Structure 1
Amino acid sequence: GLFSFESDAQRRDWTTSGPHLGGWEVYSALGDGHQGDRILTGTSHMAYGPSVRVSENGGGNWSQIPEGPSYSAESGFTLNRVWQIVPGHPSAPDTLFAGVEEAGLFVSRDRGATWAELDALTKHPTRAGWFPGAGGMCLHTILIHPDNPQRMWVGISAVGVFRTDDGGETWRTCNEGLARVPVGTPHPEVGYCVHKMVLDPDDPNTLYMQYHQGVFQSNDGAESWFPIENGLPGDRISAELGAPFGFPIAVSRSGDLFLFPLESSEQRTMRDGRLIVYGMRRGSDRWEPVGDVVPDEPRHVSVLRDALTIDSLEPYGVYFGTTSGEVFYSVDGGVAWDRMPGQFGRILCVKTWIQEDQDAA
């Protein structure tokens, strides 16, 4: 289900509500602070399958969108989950995008009421060579150029990065500099296990990525990638030359980066049971352990790819949820941490938004 926390701009005292959508897995959530208390979620149920559900009153009531994302029977694809829902470019305020598993991209031009597939991506010439990662073949990241609504990037596990420069009419692979995953695909352009990507807040040609085998940066719009791993602990077990393994990566409005290095790709829990956040401040070229979240207790847990986020306030707040169902937050750049009230199931995603009329996060 979905749980919500609400506070004022100081973010010290929180009120909790939920569970909303009890019994449903919630893989994605989008709160629209400009449209009152509107929330869209990508949900999945073992009996009823995937759907997009919407609340117009902050979670009080929910309805399923009848014409949600779906593949045609002729496509041969199955829609298993809705992994991501994001707003479109600010110049198109009614536009939303959804990334799904099996990997594909859908668009709504009417605030989520109806959806259509951008099928140029699923018809890409490399499609026969797409293979899933351990978590499925999911399109989990959607990034939109802030100055050019025609340019977008998507990340697919374990396929790679694609970019469009014409609003989704055509797509090209953008994986130069990354190490391929040995999935046996005959297409050398794909077979790259992207875990998460974020866009630099000041330079839209700069992107950052947590990859299966390391952490990378691009300064040319994803034309090429290079590692940024100075200061990060490496993978202790696998044969991937000690590349740092993890799932999420997040960037603040000031350009500070955060992530969680794990033991290894085989042992996907915190190193030595210590829940430590690593950060790289704007202007630095080195990662540092910026916060030991629970120094007195072991936490052999993980943080999943969409369970780390940063709000847009000043100073910014950092939030994450663990696979053991705890939510932690910091309002001083990740140095000191507090725990949200409550214990939940495995946390798949953590999202923040500002309700402007209430000055709440």
Structure 2
Amino acid sequence: MKSKMINIKDYDFQDLLDPASNLNDVEFKIVDENSQELGTVRSHKFLLSLLSPVLKKMFMSREKGSIVVEITGPSFISFQTLIQFLYTGDESVITDISCIDDLFDLYCLGDKYELCGSRNLIKEVVSSFKINQENFIHILKGIKKHENTFLFEDLCDILRVKVQDFLVCSSPESYQEDLKESEDTDFCFWVKNRIQKWSRSSSEIQSVEEQRSQFEDIKKQFDDVKKQSEDTKLQLEDTKIQFEDSKTQLENSKAEISELEKKLAKMVEYAKDPCKNCKGPTVCLDGQVLHGTPGYGTMIRPDEDTSYMFNEDEVNVDADDFGTVGTLRWGAGGPVVNWNKLGSRICDDFTGFVYKCK
């Protein structure tokens, strides 16, 4: 195993708070409002300067060497606890505090010396502070003392909610008996006034919460109806599209039926008087291509200028000529076609010719 050399991270800074240590260079003298000394806390300017810009500025403005700083306001316990926490980082020295006044003092000290995160830590401790029958009156006195100080507004709000919760779970007789033992008439009046005010506020808050809950329920119902409406709208759009498609199909079907009716009417009309030239079964085949050899007496014409070979002779038929199919010549290979312009010619290949019924 690699050997390890000692470094400053291994040092327990709490040892510097030992009364036997003579390395301190600042002594905080804690005094009350009557200038009565409550106690002294020894510390080190360099270490505190690392944590507090306010203390750093104060130390730099004072003479070098050991100095004495007089602190008025906080309790000795609260200031001693602050220094202990700054040296150890042990939050239990704060969370174990049972006196609410000391927590108010710590909150004020953290703000005064601009100790980063101190106010949030104290608010967390106050939020978990246990209120009971023994400390209830003392908590109320703390709220009365600090409720009009802007700095302590958050702490007082937290404690007010905790007091309200405590009152809900306890009988009025329990705290009224404690108030009777108090000789401070002004405090008793303040407590009764505040409890009534908080009770009304609690009822109002409960009413607001009920209204908010009702509003949320109505809003949810509205959102559900809105969603159903949107779904119905989408279904309606789909139905509309389907209707338009069906309408288009119906129009197309009607058009097809109309065409079929026209064709049927023509076929019926044609059946009454069929074409005697092409003898088409359902309609006249005028202009349609011949398939095979046409029958005797059928009139035909070329679809365009057309030629065909017969006995090695080329027969040319103009596009504007027409003729009538005559009798079949024995051994000729095809019938005679009597052309209007070309005259009679034997034809054994009717490719390129069409019916001429009109």
The structure richer in helix per residue is 2
The two structures share one fold, judged by TM-score above 0.5: no
Q: TM-score, normalised by structure 2?
A: 0.22
Instruction: Please tell me whether Structure 1 or Structure 2 has the larger radius of gyration of its CA atoms.
Output: 2
Relative contact order: is structure 1 or structure 2 higher (C-alpha 8 Å, sep ≥ 6)?
Answer: 1
